[in-house]
């Protein structure tokens, strides 16, 4: 019972995102790293698509929103993060120190950028695939399934040349394809070195056992600090099993779901999968009281 929080990944950031969030220490850290004009700069797709900018912004704003929401509505029953959203989710669960999580976001992005330095790779969303269509597309063009959303939809990653060829083939087969504004193939074998490097980074930080149930993209529910470290490191080069994350959360019989971050993609995915459990994105609200009113009205 209670509510679940789903922490967004990068890709949907925009200048008006989380407009109700008050300026706190997390927002100040974002400003120190990205500049006080970060909202204006989000109008530039090159700047907003930069891996470091996006990961810092998504993590910092998520932590600010989380702390301000919980102060009014109480803690969630379970949390999960989509891609880089795992940093904020693990921090919300008590695994990571909230005062150093932005430093981890910077280092995570640096590990990924270094692994990508001599590669020309990217990501592509695919939907409306027939049964086995995603697997067949990956096998035919030597791509990896980066994110699994369900049997007919997901995100594939690999060399950009192969993605172009795969897109043409997929469209002929009736699939819908969308190139993502992410300039590397996260959650694929091309990020193996990033996983190795980020594991070394995490080993220098003090992780603790989760105080809230937290579901990882790669390993299911996290039980202790050692498992959390493995999950955060391996996630960079392993498939994000988002469909399984949602199933884990639904099994806890939550009363409502909130997507915490920019955009509404995760809330829509939840509603398509579990239409009887209400879901909204915090980005839809223009004030914290309105958000809290909606949430508390759906809790016992």
SS (H, E, C) the chain: CCEEEEECCCCCCCCCCCCCCCCCHHHHHHHHHHCCCHHHHCCCHHHHHCHHHHHHHHHHHHHHHHHHHHHHHCCCCEEEECCCHHHHHHHHCCCCCCCCHHHHHHHHHHHHHHHHCCCCEEEEEEECCCCCHHHHHHHHHCCEEEEEEECCEEEEEEEHHHHHHHHHHHHHCCCEEEECCCCCCCCCHHHHHHHHHHHHHHCCCCCCCCCCCEEECCCEECCCHHHHHHHHHHCCCCCEEHHHHHHHHHCCCCCEEEEECCCCHHHHHHHHHCCCCCEEEHHHCCCHHHHHHHHHCCCC
- Tell me what percent of the residues of the chain surpass a pLDDT of 90: 89
Chain mean pLDDT for the chain: 95
First vs last C-alpha separation in the chain: 8
Q: Across residues 281-294, what is the average pLDDT?
A: 96
- Do 201 and 238 have their domain in common? yes
Which CATH number characterizes residue 257's domain?
3.40.366.10
pLDDT at 233: 97
Is residue 197, in this structure, part of any structural domain at all?
yes
What is the rounded average pLDDT of the residues 134-149? 94
pLDDT of residue 131: 81
For residue 181, pLDDT over 80 is answered with: no
On the 0-12 / 13-18 / 19+ scale of CB atoms within 10 A, 255 is middle
What's the CATH number where 147 sits?
A: 3.30.70.250
217 with 101, same domain: the answer is yes
133 and 94 within one domain: no
Number of domains observed in the structure of the chain: 2
Range of the domain at 203: 3-116+188-295
Q: Provide the 10 A C-beta neighbour count for residue 206.
A: 8
pLDDT at 180: 86
Which class for 84: exposed (0-12), middle (13-18), buried (19 or more C-beta within 10 A)? buried
- Mean pLDDT computed over 214-220: 93
Q: Is 62 found in the same domain as 147?
A: no
111: nearest Cα among 138, 84, 150: 84
151: pLDDT strictly greater than 90 = no
Q: Give the separation between CA 134 and CA 26, rounded to whole angstroms.
A: 39
Q: What is the mean pLDDT of residues 147-160?
A: 93
> Cα(46)–Cα(51) distance, rounded to whole angstroms?
10
Kindly state whether residues 69 and 130 are assigned to the same domain.
Answer: no
Report the pLDDT averaged over residues 231-248. 96
Query: Is 284 contained in some domain?
Result: yes
**At residue 132, does pLDDT exceed 90?**
no
Q: What is the pLDDT of residue 1?
A: 82
Question: In the beta sheet, which residues pair with residue 286?
Answer: none
Q: Is residue 193 domain-shared with residue 74, that is, in the same domain?
A: yes
pTM of the model: 0.94
pLDDT of 152 above 90: no
In which band, very low, low, confident or very high, does the pLDDT at 279 lie, cut at 50, 70 and 90? very high
Neighbours of 234 (CB within 10 A): 18
With respect to residue 45, please indicate whether it lies within any of the assigned structural domains.
yes
Answer yes or no: is pLDDT of 130 > 90: no
pLDDT value, residue 129: 83
Residue 300 covered by a domain: no
Last residue within a domain, chosen from 140, 160, 179:
179
Q: Are residues 158 and 135 in the same domain?
A: yes
pLDDT at 216 over 90: yes
Rounded CA-CA distance 100/87 in Å is 11
Q: What is the mean predicted confidence (pLDDT) over 214-243?
A: 96
Residue 242 CA neighbour count, 13 Å, CB half: 27
210 in the same domain as 80 = yes
Q: Residue 68's pLDDT is what? A: 98
Model confidence at 64: pLDDT above 80: yes
């Amino acid at each position: 019972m209670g509510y679940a929080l789903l922490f967004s990944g990068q890709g949907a950031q925009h200048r008006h995102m989380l407009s109700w969030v008050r300026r706190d220490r997390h927002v100040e850290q974002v400003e120190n790293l990205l500049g006080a004009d970060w909202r204006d700069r989000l109008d530039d797709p090159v700047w907003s698509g930069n891996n470091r900018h996006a990961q810092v912004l998504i993590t910092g704003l998520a932590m600010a929103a989380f702390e301000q929401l919980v102060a009014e509505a109480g803690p969630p029953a379970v949390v999960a993060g989509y891609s880089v959203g795992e940093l904020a989710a693990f921090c919300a669960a008590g695994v990571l120190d909230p005062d150093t999580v932005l430093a981890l976001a910077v280092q995570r992005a640096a590990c990924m950028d270094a692994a990508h330095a001599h590669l020309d790779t990217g990501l592509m969303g695919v939907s409306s695939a027939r049964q086995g269509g995603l697997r067949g597309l990956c096998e035919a063009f030597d791509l990896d399934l980066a994110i699994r959303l369900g049997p007919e939809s997901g995100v594939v990653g690999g060399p950009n040349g192969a993605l172009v060829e795969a897109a043409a083939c997929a469209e002929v087969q009736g699939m819908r394809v969308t190139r993502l504004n992410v300039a590397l193939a996260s959650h694929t074998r091309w990020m193996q070195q990033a996983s190795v490097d980020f594991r070394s980074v995490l080993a220098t930080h003090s992780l603790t056992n989760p105080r809230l149930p937290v579901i990882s993209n790669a390993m299911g529910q996290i039980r202790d600090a050692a498992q959390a470290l493995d999950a955060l490191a391996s996630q960079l080069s392993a498939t994000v099993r988002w469909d399984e994350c949602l199933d884990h959360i639904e099994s806890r019989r939550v009363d409502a779901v909130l997507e915490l971050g920019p955009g509404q993609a995760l809330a829509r995915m939840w509603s398509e999968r579990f239409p009887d459990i209400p879901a909204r994105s915090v980005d839809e609200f223009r004030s914290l009281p309105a958000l809290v009113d909606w949430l508390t009205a759906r809790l016992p």
